[in-house]
């Protein structure tokens, strides 16, 4: 960690991110190789920019709906897996004269066991082998705190567990960027940008993560850090790059739009069916016109859009789902004289990472090693199911898997006097599928590794006391108005002891009625014992109502509650979706 600490002291000794990057990048930019007089006879340099987002350590091809891509005609294709991603990247590179590979954040965190068991060191090794040039930090890069992020960057063995995957861990050979991430005193906590060269052209890579990041991680993970406005950070960094002569500029934005809510609307990888007023589109329309391309992430959606920048020029805004299922590709033409992108000649697409190509042998060997080392734990049977338990939900937001997890958390905390349990949908990472995995455990068998993939955060269960009025207030916070006026819904998954009716078209603050606990209508003045994870108890995902809870009693890890429930209830079937009623 000595290199990380030296870097930390260096970052802390400057007043702003721009001054940190200035001497480094100015030297690189002025030393740029001169553009050749002729290159294929054209007046522009073709450069292929590629990025993937929200990999979350999915080295093995993800299962269920998490491992499929929906095409424009509504059909699906199996996709993802590190060895197949590597092959597709190789093919995309071969098809272009010049190329740069990037990542738009959440490379690690919420990972399957064969990465998470080794603190995601296998995933960083994979990204090094892919020759990723730069990555922005996502919210999950902070899951284990800032110092662990520094270890991911600079290497060193884990301070508690040591090095369990390899004898040594050297860290990422690419920079983690965060132009809007500072310490409380305003000094930069991360590099704001990097500069890479392709075809003799300097390319500025600006990394910006979501300003609301503290609301989606536990408070201790980002203690002492601040996350500023995205557009302000982009503009400041773009201006600096421009002064340094870096005219071709790319933003890695770990923020994204959601898809159009109309399920009848086709939404293939190259469509632009995004909900109006999304945060990524708003940022793309407002950010400096010096930026040529914006790769986005965080929302796990697929889209390929073009928006107008403040100067009225077209600008690509693109995202490639998650888990390595798509590679977002933007082909640009850079003017040899100005070294700036000719916007009118930009083209883009999302490449599906199919599994019909040969697996990259080097990456497959890495995946096999991580899988074999984790196998004694991962392949242990913890339960059985009769059908898929999926996290996808109808209009009510109530999912079969969410119901099961909430029931498990209630059962695990009855000793705390819990009457109901509630969990956040974002903490449910994938489906439990009935079909056997490649490990061959058999249809219907749930292994520890599969359960871990569903609940990978190791959140601690906590039981608190809320009044009936406070419980109602929490349920009303499932619909939250954003700064741009749009309303985002996050429907909590609830135990079988809690029922209520939704009124989606009613005004905010009055969308919930007929709340019952154990079949009895809720009394606003009465007290109820409610079990939630520590993320929600701290007000995560905007559920600040939970912070009013009193008489906190700790419970087990959420994963332990889940696996114990699966063991205690063999041949578990999907529950009836009857806990949330949607009013017409």
User: Per residue in 461-470, pLDDT tens?
Assistant: 999 999 999 9
Are the C-beta atoms of 222 and 142 separated by less than 8 Å?
yes
Using the predicted structure, report yes or no on whether residue 27 has a pLDDT greater than 60: no
Same domain, 192 and 232: yes
CATH number for 395: 3.90.780.10
Average pLDDT score over residue span 30-55: 68
What pLDDT, on the 0 to 100 scale, is given for residue 64? 85
Q: What share of the chain is helix, strand, coil (3-state, %, to 5)?
A: 30, 25, 40
∠ at Cα 310 (309, 311), nearest 5°?
Answer: 90
Is residue 67, in this structure, part of any structural domain at all?
Answer: yes
- 116 has a pLDDT exceeding 50: yes
365 in a structural domain: no
| Residues 136/207, Cβ–Cβ less than 8 Å | yes
Nearest CA to 207 among 198, 194, 196?
194
Q: Do 62 and 176 belong to one domain?
A: yes
- Residues ≥6 apart with Cβ < 8 Å to 462: 531, 532, 533, 534, 537, 552, 553, 554, 555
Q: DSSP secondary structure string, 468-508?
A: HHHHHHHHHTTEEE-TTS-EEE-PPEE-TTEEEEE-TTSPT
Q: Is 513 within a domain? A: yes
Q: Identify whether the C-beta of residue 488 lies closer than 8 Å to the C-beta of residue 480.
A: yes
Taking only the tens place, the pLDDT of each residue in 511-553 is 999 999 999 999 999 999 999 999 999 999 999 999 999 999 9
Give the three-state DSSP class for 344.
Answer: helix
Residues 6+ apart with CB under 8 A from 238: 204, 206, 249, 287, 288, 290, 291
Model pLDDT for residues 100-110, shown as the tens digit of each residue: 999 999 999 99
Residues 429 and 510 in one domain: yes
Percent of the chain residues past pLDDT 90, beyond the cut: 86
**Residue 557 CB-density burial (10 A; 0-12 exposed, 13-18 middle, 19+ buried):** middle
Give me the pLDDT at residue 263, please.
62
Residues 348 and 458 placed together within one structural domain of the fold? no
| Mean pLDDT (whole number) for 113-135 | 97
Element (H, E) at 122: helix 121-130
CA-closest candidate to residue 76, choices 355, 273, 299: 355
Coil, strand, or helix at residue 569? Answer: coil
Closest CA to 546 of 488, 475, 491: 475
Segment 437-455 mean pLDDT: 93
Among residues 356, 389, 421, the one where a domain terminates is 356
Return the pLDDT at 31. 35
Whether residues 206 and 58 share a domain: the answer is yes
Question: Helix or strand or coil: residue 419?
Answer: coil
CB atoms within 10 A of CB 228: 18
Q: Are strands 225-227 and 181-183 parallel, antiparallel or unpaired?
A: antiparallel
Same-domain check for residues 195 and 324 = yes
| 339 and 418 belong to one structural domain | no
**Is the confidence at residue 349, as pLDDT, over 90?**
yes
Q: pLDDT digits over 351-370, tens only?
A: 999 999 999 999 999 999 99
User: Could you tell me if 327 and 407 lie in one domain?
Assistant: no
| Structural domain ending residue among the three candidates 301, 323, 356 | 356
- Look at residue 403 and tell me if it is in a domain: yes
Reported pTM: 0.86
Q: Is the pLDDT of residue 26 over 60?
A: no
| 475 and 522 both lie in a single domain | yes
Domain shared by 101 and 250, yes or no = yes
pLDDT in tens, 551-584: 999 999 999 999 999 999 999 999 999 999 999 8
Helix H or strand E encompassing 22: helix 17-30
Q: For residue 65, what are the contacts with CB-CB under 8 A and spacing of at least 6? A: 390, 392, 431
Q: In angstroms, rounded to a whole number, what is the distance separating the alpha carbons of residues 425 and 420?
A: 16
Q: Is the pLDDT of residue 436 over 70?
A: yes
DSSP letter for 225, please.
E
Separation in Å, CA 484 to CA 277, 282, 283, 400, 504: 7, 8, 11, 32, 19
Closest CA to 188 of 395, 19, 411, 55: 19
**Residue 10: which pLDDT band, with cuts at 50, 70 and 90?**
very low
Residues 348 and 252 in one domain: yes
What's the pLDDT score for residue 262?
65
Report the pLDDT averaged over residues 26-43: 42
Percent of the chain with pLDDT over 70: 92
Answer with the residue of higher pLDDT: 40 or 528: 528
Averaged pLDDT, 470-478: 98
- The confidence score (pLDDT) of residue 491 equals 97
CA dihedral 491→496→497→498, nearest 10 degrees, is 20
Confidence (pLDDT) at 487: 87
Q: Is residue 575 part of a domain?
A: yes
* Domain assignment present for 372: no
Domain presence at residue 21: yes
Q: Are residues 396 and 441 in the same domain?
A: yes
What is the reported pLDDT for 347? 98
The pLDDT of 324-342, averaged and rounded, is 97
pLDDT, average across residues 274-289: 93
Separation CA 543–CA 167 (nearest Å): 42
Range of the domain at 520: 379-582
Which of 61, 430, 77 minimizes the C-alpha distance to 268?
77
Q: Who contacts 31 (Cβ-Cβ below 8 Å, separation ≥6)?
A: none
DSSP state of 229: -
Counted domains in the chain: 2
Confidence class of residue 264 from pLDDT cuts 50, 70 and 90? low
d(CA 373, CA 369): 6
């Amino acid at each position: 960690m000595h290199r990380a600490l030296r870097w930390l002291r260096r970052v802390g000794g400057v007043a702003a991110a721009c001054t940190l990057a200035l001497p480094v990048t100015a030297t690189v930019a002025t030393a740029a190789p001169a553009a050749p007089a002729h290159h294929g006879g054209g007046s522009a340099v073709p450069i292929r920019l590629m990025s993937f987002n929200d990999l979350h350590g999915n080295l093995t091809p993800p299962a269920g709906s998490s491992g499929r891509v929906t095409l424009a005609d509504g059909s699906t294709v199996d996709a993802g897996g590190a060895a197949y991603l590597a092959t597709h990247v190789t093919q995309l590179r071969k098809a272009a004269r010049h190329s740069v590979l990037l990542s738009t954040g959440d490379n690690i965190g919420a990972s399957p066991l064969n990465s998470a068991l080794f603190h995601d060191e296998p995933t960083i090794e994979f990204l090094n082998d892919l020759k990723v040039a730069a990555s922005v930090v996502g919210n999950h890069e902070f899951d284990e705190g800032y110092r662990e992020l520094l270890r991911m960057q600079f290497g060193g063995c884990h301070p508690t567990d040591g090095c369990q995957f390899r004898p040594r861990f050297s860290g990422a050979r690419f920079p983690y960027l965060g132009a809007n991430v500072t310490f409380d005193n305003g000094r930069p906590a991360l590099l704001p940008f990097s500069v890479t060269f392709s075809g003799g052209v300097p390319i500025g890579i600006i990394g910006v993560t979501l300003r609301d990041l503290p609301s989606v991680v536990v408070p201790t993970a980002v203690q002492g850090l601040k996350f500023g406005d995205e557009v302000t950070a982009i503009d400041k960094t773009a201006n600096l790059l421009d002064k340094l002569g870096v005219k071709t500029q790319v933003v890695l934005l770990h923020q994204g739009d959601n898809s159009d809510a109309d399920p009848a609307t086709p939404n293939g990888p190259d469509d632009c069916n995004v909900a109006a007023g999304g945060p990524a589109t708003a940022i793309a329309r407002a950010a400096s016109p010096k930026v040529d391309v914006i790769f986005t992430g965080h929302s796990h959606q697929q889209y390929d859009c073009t928006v107008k920048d403040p100067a009225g020029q077209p600008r690509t805004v693109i995202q490639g789902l998650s888990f390595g299922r798509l590679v977002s590709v933007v082909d640009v033409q850079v003017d040899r004289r100005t070294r700036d992108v000719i916007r009118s000649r930009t083209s883009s697409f999302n490449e599906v990472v199919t599994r019909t190509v040969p697996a990259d042998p080097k990456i497959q060997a890495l995946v096999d090693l991580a899988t074999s080392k984790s196998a004694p734990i991962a392949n242990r049977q913890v339960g059985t199911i009769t059908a898929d338990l999926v996290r996808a939900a109808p209009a009510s937001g109530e999912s079969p898997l969410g119901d099961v997890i909430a029931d498990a958390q209630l059962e695990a905390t009855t000793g705390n006097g819990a009457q109901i349990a509630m969990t956040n949908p974002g903490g449910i990472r994938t489906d439990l599928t009935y079909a056997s995995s490649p490990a061959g455990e058999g249809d219907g068998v749930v292994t520890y590794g599969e359960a871990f993939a569903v609940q990978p955060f190791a959140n601690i269960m906590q039981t608190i006391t809320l009044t009936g009025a406070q419980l109602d207030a929490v349920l009303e916070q499932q619909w939250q108005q954003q700064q741009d006026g749009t309303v985002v819904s996050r429907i909590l998954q609830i135990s079988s002891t809690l029922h209520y009716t939704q009124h989606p078209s009613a005004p905010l603050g009055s969308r919930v009625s007929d709340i019952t606990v154990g079949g009895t209508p809720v009394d606003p003045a009465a007290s109820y014992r409610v079990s939630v994870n520590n993320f929600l108890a701290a007000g995560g995902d905007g559920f600040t109502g939970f912070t009013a809870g009193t008489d906190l009693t700790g419970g087990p890890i959420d994963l332990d509650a889940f696996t114990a429930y699966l063991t205690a209830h063999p041949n578990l079937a999907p529950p009836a979706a009857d806990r949330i009623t949607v009013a017409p």
